[in-house]
Amino acid sequence: MGSKERILRLKDETRTKILDAALNIVQTEGWQALSMRKIADQIEYTAPIIYEYFSNKEGILLELTRRGYQILAKDIRAARDKHETAEDKMEAMWVAYWNFAFSHTEFYQLMYGVDMVCCTVKNSLTEAETVSNMLGDVIESLFEKKPVSEDDICRKYYTYWSIIHGLISINLVRPNGRTTDELNQQILKDAIKGITLSINS
Amino acid sequence: MGSKERILRLKDETRTKILDAALNIVQTEGWQALSMRKIADQIEYTAPIIYEYFSNKEGILLELTRRGYQILAKDIRAARDKHETAEDKMEAMWVAYWNFAFSHTEFYQLMYGVDMVCCTVKNSLTEAETVSNMLGDVIESLFEKKPVSEDDICRKYYTYWSIIHGLISINLVRPNGRTTDELNQQILKDAIKGITLSINS
DNA sequence: ACATTTGCTTAACGGTGTTAGATTATTTAC
DNA sequence: GTAAATAATCTAACACCGTTAAGCAAATGT
């Protein structure tokens, strides 16, 4: 019978319901308000059944992290495909990264450990690698002199990532500073152009 | 009698004992292991007496944050006073900042919200301002064309801070990456020199 | 119709931050 | 020196947390 499949589908539905509830709580009340019992309340179950869908709370967080990287990958890919030259791609991709951090702040916090509890896994996560691979590919194409060493790409990648992740972190952790949006965008684009220019000099 | 002062001194001693215990726990077991009861155990008291010295756990964290900024200020000041030209000062100060983050990782995590729970205060903290003021002063002296607008300083300040804080965050949250110490130092110094050069161009 | 599995709940363990009340020790007043 | 007042400290408790074990009740397989 198809009842097996229906049940499996239902199981999958409540699984995503759990994730949606968790995300909802975080978005409305912040990370420190997220608890297993609150998730259970929202899906109208009791806490223990969550452990039939996730091994523990960190399992939920890990799945949300994956979701986050999927959204980020989509955004960055779209930005890349909207431009022709590598320079334009680069800027658009990093701007997409920047925008993601502020339109999906909870995800960014979870993904990059900004103001959160630790999560030792998160390294060697395939979803994270797709993003870095895409960025790395375009970085490689920025170099005029070929072939480009893995070391050169890595260095430039971390240079880009550092300035942007740093700027984001500052704005997330210190939202009350005198940093206007224009100022941030100016710093962001100046830095990107500067690093890009320095690649072939 | 001087007994009043002796008692006050004793109170102050246990106050710093609480802070030392907290720091000790964090350094040996990490932030998530820090609990009021564990602090109380280490100073051989029970948990409630801590509330006679700090209003709550966040109060302890706030005081540790202040301590962190004091150490950072000392390091940065020493680095500044070891050099003559503004360029040398700048590099040495940022390297000192960098070194602080890794020789006092717990403090840096607490101060900049890297992988920690939130702390809404931390803005408008005088200890934080002394650091930013010192840095801002040297940045101002880097400009050849005077007078320098507050906006220009702010922008350059955030540019410096972003690349460095970003690079640090990456290394703290992703300690397993293929980022060697040499690579990091290279990125760091290249970025600093690049930003410094760009000031008068 | 009986046995078995499934879905879900209640109860509990050990932990957290925090507060109130009781208890003990110390100081003050006579 | 003793009694009252004050300070220092502890025990017990509250409400929450993540997590696990035991049990119940309904659906399923035979």
- Give the CA radius of gyration of chain B: 20
Is residue B67 over pLDDT 80?
yes
The burial of B180, by beta-carbon neighbours within 10 Å (0-12 exposed, 13-18 middle, 19 or more buried), is given as: exposed
Q: How far is B11 from chain A (nearest CA, A)?
A: 33
> What is the C-alpha separation between A76 and B152, in angstroms, rounded?
31
A118 pLDDT band, cuts 50/70/90, is very low
pLDDT, position A48: 95
With a cut of 90, say whether residue B37 has pLDDT above it: yes
Structure tokens at A81: 């495909």
Tell if the CB–CB gap between A178 and B154 is shorter than 8 Å: yes
Chain C bases near protein Cβ (<7 Å): 7-11, 15-21, 27-28
Please report the pLDDT score of residue A120 as a whole number: 40
Q: What is the phi/psi pair of residue B114, to 5°?
A: -85, 115
The answer to whether the CB atoms of B151 and A183 lie below 8 A apart is yes
Smallest Cβ distance to A114: which of B30, B114, B168? B114
At A102, the amino acid letter reads: F
**Which residues 125-184 on A are within 7 A of strand D at the CB atom?**
none
CB pairs A-B closer than 8 Å: 133
pLDDT of residue B125: 45
* Average pLDDT of chain B, as a whole number: 76
Kindly determine whether residue B32 and residue A123, on different chains, have CB atoms separated by under 8 Å: no
Residues in chain A with CB shorter than 8 Å from the CB of B177 are 123
Which tokens go with A133? 């691979």
Distances (CA, A) of B131 to A74, A101, A191, B85, B87: 39, 27, 23, 19, 18
Confirm if B86 and B176 have CB atoms less than 8 A apart. no
Greatest alpha-carbon span in chain B: 67
CA–CA separation, B137 and B139 (whole Å): 5
- Residues B72, B97 contacting (CB under 8 angstroms): yes
- Beta carbons of B173 and A112 less than 8 Å apart: yes
The tens digit of pLDDT for each residue in A134-160 reads 566 667 877 888 888 888 887 877 787
The tally of CA atoms less than 13 A away on the side-chain side of residue A44 is 0
Report the pLDDT value the prediction gives residue B24, as an integer from 0 to 100: 96
**CB distance B117 to B60 below 8 Å:** no
Half-sphere exposure of B4 (CA within 13 A, CB side): 1
Residues of A at the B interface (Cβ-Cβ below 8 Å)?
Answer: 30-32, 112-118, 122-124, 151, 154-155, 158-159, 161-170, 172-174, 176-179, 183-184, 186-187, 190-191, 194-195, 198
Confidence of residue B20 (pLDDT cuts 50, 70, 90): very high
> Residues 17-36 of chain A: which lie with beta carbon within 7 Å of strand D?
34-36
- pLDDT at residue B38 tops 90: yes
| Residue A183: per-residue pLDDT | 73
The pLDDT score that the predictor gives to residue B121 is: 41
Nearest to B60 by CA among B15, B105, B25, B30: B15
- pLDDT score for A26: 93
Q: Is A114 helix (H, G, I), strand (E, B) or coil?
A: strand
| Residue B154 φ then ψ, to 5° | -55, -45
Answer yes or no: do B113 and A161 touch at CB < 8 A: no
Residues of chain A neighbouring B168 (CB-CB closer than 8 A): 166
- Write out pLDDT tens, residues B140-194: 877 888 888 888 887 877 787 677 657 656 655 555 456 676 777 677 667 767 7
Q: Is residue B167 exposed (0-12), middle (13-18) or buried (19+ Cβ within 10 Å)?
A: buried
- Could you read off the pLDDT of A13-54 as tens digits, one per residue? 899 999 999 999 999 998 889 999 999 999 999 999 999 999
For position B166, what pLDDT does the model report? 76
Quote the pLDDT of residue A93. Answer: 67
